[in-house]
Structure 1
Amino acid sequence: MTTPPRHTRLTFHGPLSGARADQLVTRLAGNTPTTVLDIGCGWGELMLRVLTATPEATGTGIDINAEDLARGRQAAEARGLTARARFLEESATGTPHGPADLVLCVGASQALGSQLPQALGELRRLVSDHGRVLLGEGFWHRTPTEAELSRMWPDAKATDHPDLATLVGLAVDAGFRPEWTETASLDEWEEFESAYLADTEVWLARHPGHPLTAETRERADRHRAAWLTYRGVLGLAYLTLVPVVAR
C-alpha cells in the first residue's frame, strides 16, 4: 500500500540551517572531542558532521525510532563513518553511555527527564569535566495566550517552556556556564516546518481517494495549524554549555 514518504525533505529534525550547523560543528570540533554522545539522535546528522570534522572521535547515537536509526546507519556508511558511529535503539533514561567529551541533546531533553532541571542534571552527569554540551531547547518568545495554547499541541500549557533568560538560568543552576547562546531564526523555523509536511502535502494532493487520505489529511492539517499558531511565539535556543568543574 502506498503511504506518504517520511521526512525526506529534512536534513535536520529541527529548525537548523546548514549555515548554523556548520558554525556549530566548527565551534564544537574546536574543543577536539574524542567521544560524542547524541541523545535522541534521530538519524544523527549533526553527530555525523562532528565526526567528519574530528577524525579521532567516535560517536554514539541513542533513539527509540528504528526507522530514523536505520537512516543514520545508512548515512554513516555512505560517509565512511561506520567504524566510528553507532546508533543504538534504546531509551536514554539513566543511560550508561557517558561521560562523553561532547553531548548533543537537540530537541530531546524529554528523553532524560520530564522536567528540565532533571534533564540538565543528567546532561551534567553525561559530559566530561572538560567537555561541552550542545542543548537545543524550546523557549517562549512571549507567553502564549490561552487561545493560542488551545491551537498548539494537545494539552499545551504556558508552563511547557520557560523564557530564554529562565532557560539559561536553569542551565547555570545545573552546573554549566553558557559559552554560546543563539536561537533559531524565523526562516529556519519556516524551512523546517514546511519541509516536515512537504512530502505529506504532495502525497495528499496526488492520492485524494486513498484509504489513508482522511487520517493523513487530518494529521497534517492539525500539525500545520499548530505551527502557524506557535510561529514567532515558540523559539528554539542552541546553548553551548561548559560544565563547571567541581573544586
Structure 2
Amino acid sequence: MDDTTAPPRLTRLTFHGPLSEERAARMIRRLGAPATPATVLDIGCGWGEFMLRLLEATPGATGVGIDLNEDDLARGRANAKARGLAERVRFVRESAVDTAQGPADLVLCLGASHALSDAQPPEHTTAALRALRRLVAPGGRVLLGEAFWERTPTPGELSAMWPDASAAEFHELPDLVDLAIAAGFRPAWIESANLDEWDDFESAYQSDVEEWLAAYPGHPLAQETRHRVDRHRARWLRGYRGVMGLAYLTLVPVR
C-alpha cells in the first residue's frame, strides 16, 4: 500500500451484518431441516457469504445472488471459485424490485428488504414481505433479517442517527412478526442479533479504513474519508447502538 492507494472497503467483514459465526452455523443447520433446500435465492446478497456457506453444507443445492454493487458481486464470484462452488452459484447484477428470479426453496433477505420495493419506511417492510411470499416456493423457507426498534428512541438519539430519522421508521419486534403473519407466513424461528454481534459488525465495518487513516493522514482522500467514518461512528455510538435491533425471522409460507 502507498500514498496513491485508495482506502480499503469492508475487508474485515465476513458477513455484511451483525451475525456471529456461531449464529450463522446454527441457522444454516436449522434451514437444512426438515427439508433440504435445492434452490437458494439471496436478495441484496452483497458477496453472499451466508449463501456460500449454506451451499457448502447442502451438496447439490444451487444458488442465485442478486445485488447492484458490482464490487461485492465480484468478491462473491471469486470466493465461490476459490471454494469450488462456481458451478453451483450465480451472482447477478440486477434490481430486486419485481425480480424474475425464483421461486426458490430458500429465500435469503438479510438486511436488504429495502431492495424489494420503492416504498419508504416503514411501508417497505410490508411490501418486502409480500414480495418474499411470491418468491418462496411452496413448502420452502424465508430467512429475513430486518431492522426493528429494541425500544422507542429518544429525540436525542434520533437526532444523532441518519438525516430525517423517525421513531415511525421501524416496527417493534412483536409488530414485525405480526406483519409477517399478515403477509402469509408462520414464524418458525424468531431471534435477534445481540450487542456483541452489533459491536463486532460496526467495528469491522470501519476497522480497515481507520487503520488506513492512521497510516496515511495526508492522503488526498483522507479528509473526505475521515469525515465519512467519523460521521458513521457517531451515528452508531450516539444514535442507534442498543436502540436499533436486527431480527432474524425464519418464515414458513402458509399453504
Could you state the TM-score of these two structures normalised by the residue count of structure 1? Answer: 0.98
Q: 1:51 aligns with which of 48, 55, 58?
A: 55
Please give the residue correspondences for 1:65-80 in structure 2 after superposition, counting only pairs within 5 Å.
Answer: 65-80=69-84
Query: Residue by residue, what CA displacement relative to the aligned partner does 1:50-70 show, whole Å, maximum 9, x if unpaired?
Result: 111111210000000000000
Counterpart position of 1:6? 9
Size of the aligned set, in residue pairs, is 245
Residue 240 of structure 1, aligned match among 231, 236, 250: 250
**CA distance in structure 2 between the partners assigned to 1:24 and 1:79 by the alignment:** 20
Identity %: 66
SS of the residue corresponding to residue 168 of structure 2 reads helix
Q: Which amino acid aligns with 1:43?
A: W
Is 1:125 aligned to 2:137, yes or no?
no
Q: Deviations over 1:134-160 (max 9, x none)?
A: 000000011111211111112211111
* Code of the aligned partner of 1:99: P
Matched, 1:116 2:125: yes
Equivalent position amino acid for 1:8 in 2 = T
Aligned to 2:68: 64
What SS does the aligned partner of 2:226 have?
Answer: helix
Instruction: Map 1:146-185; keep pairs closer than 5 Å.
Output: 146-185=155-194
Partner of 1:213: 222
1: distance between equivalents of 2:16 and 2:160?
A: 22
Report how far residue 231 of structure 1 moved: 0.7
RMSD of aligned Cα (Å)? 0.7
Moved over 4 A (4+): none
Where does the alignment leave 5 or more consecutive residues of structure 1 unmatched? none
Letter in 2 for 1:59: G
Corresponding residue for residue 206 of structure 2? 197
* Runs (5+) with no aligned partner, structure 2: none
1:90 has 2:94 as partner = yes
2:148 matched residue in structure 1: 139
3-state DSSP of counterpart to 1:38: strand
Distance in 1 (CA, whole Å) between partners of 2:240 and 2:152 is 11
Structure 2: how far apart are the matches of 1:189 and 1:199? 17
Q: Give the secondary-structure state (helix, strand or coil) at the position aligned to 2:142.
A: strand
| Alignment partners' CA distance in 1, 2:163 and 2:67 | 23
CA distance in 1, matches of 2:26, 2:7: 33
CA distance in 2, matches of 1:218, 1:155: 19
